[in-house]
């Protein structure tokens, strides 16, 4: 499709608005939170509804806005995606299909997958038929994903995977995953990795859910025991998985700033926003307190700065006036600010942050949100790793000194052995 044939953004906005008002349910303010708010049964119903909404968007020509038409997308621009995000404000959307399904997983398929892999999976994702997750972090490695111990051994036209991954979002109701595995132990750690596509319900894959401090069981740990994967499900060249992984982590840092993601404008990341701070102050009866009003103002300022920063970074990367590594700045800001927002609410709640009852309204979340606040600085790659990216690849400062850079991975000392 030539540029002249692309639907005008305003015409697209009008079309999207009319369809959304006619077909989707209005909802209140939406927060992408880690609170435990549903039973397992309710969560599965919500997942099914997300798949249904995604299919409705696909049938209406409103799914995969920036994805090429040959893979089922619309072949439009980030401006069209922003128009859709604006019009979706106040309406339901396929929340669970955005991250990590659309980014980083679909983004990695689009950038590094084979033509067969793209045509097999991307249309299915756009229709809500496949939900993906990332099998990246390991119990022994944290954010040092290049130190993966999960192994993949070639056996004819197949690979046999063994090991364990952890902190995978929603694995218990997902369908597929991207898996980073070690295929060569005789080279430095960054040179012996390969990426595979892995069906979650494959024999040999055991999924265990992790209960966090606030009762949420969204995250899981997977145990891979002699899981067979065909070589046709390998992404990229053998032992060149770090090249894929670098792009993978770029897309992960983009998160909700990615033009591949559909999230209504105004949706908050984490469990708190300036409007939440206002609600907490109202339920605490402290709206007239000058100190509390200052805190509400700070929360609002963080919202405004965050939205503008993400918009500027997204525009800069899209127009190539900023490098892709600049996304790490947004990653650090989102993590630090989310933690600060939760602290603000805790400070406003006062004593109710330590002891509350079920009829305390917004106050009931402040205590556990405060205890969980550091998850925003850890999930999706720690902000310490993002700070390294900023210093080394954005500012051009010297690389961090490491002792294992030129050492065969099998000779690198570690607490656990394979």
Is the pLDDT at 316 greater than 90? The verdict is no
Print burial letters for 136-154: b (CB count within 10 Å at least 16), e (below 16). Answer: bbbeebbbebbbbbbbbee
When comparing pLDDT for 332 and 379, which is higher?
332
**Which pLDDT value is given to residue 268?**
64
Peptide bond into 100 cis (omega under 30): yes
Mean pLDDT of the chain: 89
At 172-199, the pLDDT tens digits run 999 999 999 999 999 998 999 999 999 9
Is the pLDDT at 416 greater than 70? The verdict is no
**Which pLDDT value is given to residue 356?**
85
Q: Under 8 Å CB-to-CB from 273, ≥6 apart: which residues?
A: 29, 31, 299, 303, 341
CA distance 28 to 37: 15
Is the pLDDT at 33 greater than 70? The verdict is no
Is the pLDDT at 2 greater than 90? The verdict is no
**Which pLDDT value is given to residue 418?**
43
**Which pLDDT value is given to residue 174?**
95
Is the pLDDT at 392 greater than 50? The verdict is yes
Average pLDDT over residues 294-306: 93
Is the pLDDT at 1 greater than 50? The verdict is no
The string of DSSP letters for 350-406 reads GGGGTS--TTSGGGGGHHHHHHTTTHHHHTTS-HHHHHHHIIIIIS-PPPPP-SSTT
Average pLDDT over residues 47-56: 97
At 104-151, the pLDDT tens digits run 999 999 999 999 999 999 999 999 999 999 999 898 876 778 889 999
DSSP 8-state symbol, 42: H
Is the pLDDT at 99 greater than 60? The verdict is yes
Is the pLDDT at 406 greater than 90? The verdict is no
**Which pLDDT value is given to residue 157?**
97
At 225-265, the pLDDT tens digits run 999 999 999 999 999 999 999 899 888 877 777 889 999 98
Assign 359 a pLDDT band (cuts: 50, 70, 90): confident
**Which pLDDT value is given to residue 36?**
61
**Which pLDDT value is given to residue 296?**
95
Measured CA to CA in angstroms, residue 339 lies from 216, 345, 376 at distances of 18, 10, 6
């Amino acid at each position: 499709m030539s540029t002249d044939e692309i639907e005008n953004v305003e015409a697209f906005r009008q079309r999207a608005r009319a369809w959304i008002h006619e077909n989707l349910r209005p909802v209140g303010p939406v927060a992408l939170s880690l609170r435990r708010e549903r039973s397992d049964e309710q969560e599965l119903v919500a997942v099914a509804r997300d798949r249904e909404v995604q299919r409705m968007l696909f049938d209406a020509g409103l799914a995969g806005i920036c994805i090429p038409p040959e893979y089922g997308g619309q072949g439009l621009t980030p401006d069209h995606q922003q128009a859709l995000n604006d019009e979706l404000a106040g309406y339901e959307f396929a929340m669970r299909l955005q991250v990590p399904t659309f980014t980083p997983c679909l983004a990695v398929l689009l950038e590094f997958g084979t033509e067969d892999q793209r045509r097999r999976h991307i249309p299915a994702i756009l229709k809500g038929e496949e939900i993906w997750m990332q099998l990246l972090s390991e119990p022994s490695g944290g954010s040092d994903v290049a130190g993966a111990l999960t192994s993949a051994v070639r056996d004819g036209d197949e690979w046999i995977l063994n090991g364990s991954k952890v902190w995978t979002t929603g694995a218990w109701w997902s369908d597929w995953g991207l898996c980073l595995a070690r295929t060569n132990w005789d080279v430095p750690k960054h040179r012996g990795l390969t990426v595979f596509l892995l069906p979650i319900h494959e024999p040999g894959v055991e999924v265990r859910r992790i209960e966090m401090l606030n009762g949420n069981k969204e995250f899981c740990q997977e145990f891979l025991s002699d899981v067979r994967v065909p070589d046709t499900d390998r992404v990229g060249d053998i032992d060149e998985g770090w090249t894929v992984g670098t792009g993978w982590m770029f897309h992960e840092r983009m998160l909700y700033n990615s033009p591949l993601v559909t999230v209504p404008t105004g949706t908050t990341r984490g469990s708190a926003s300036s409007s939440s701070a206002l609600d907490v102050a109202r339920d605490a009866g402290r709206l007239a307190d000058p100190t509390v009003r200052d805190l509400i103002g700070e929360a609002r300022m963080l919202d405004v700065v965050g939205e503008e920063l993400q918009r500027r970074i997204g525009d800069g990367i899209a127009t190539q006036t900023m490098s892709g590594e600049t996304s790490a700045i947004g990653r650090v800001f989102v993590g630090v600010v989310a933690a600060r927002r939760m602290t603000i609410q805790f400070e406003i709640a006062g004593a109710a942050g330590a002891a509350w009852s079920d009829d305390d309204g917004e106050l009931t979340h402040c205590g556990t949100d405060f205890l969980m606040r550091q998850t925003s600085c850890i999930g999706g790659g720690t902000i310490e790793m993002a700070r390294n990216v900023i210093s080394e690849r954005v500012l051009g400062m010297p690389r961090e000194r490491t002792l294992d850079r030129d050492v065969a991975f099998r000779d690198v000392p570690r607490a656990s052995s394979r």
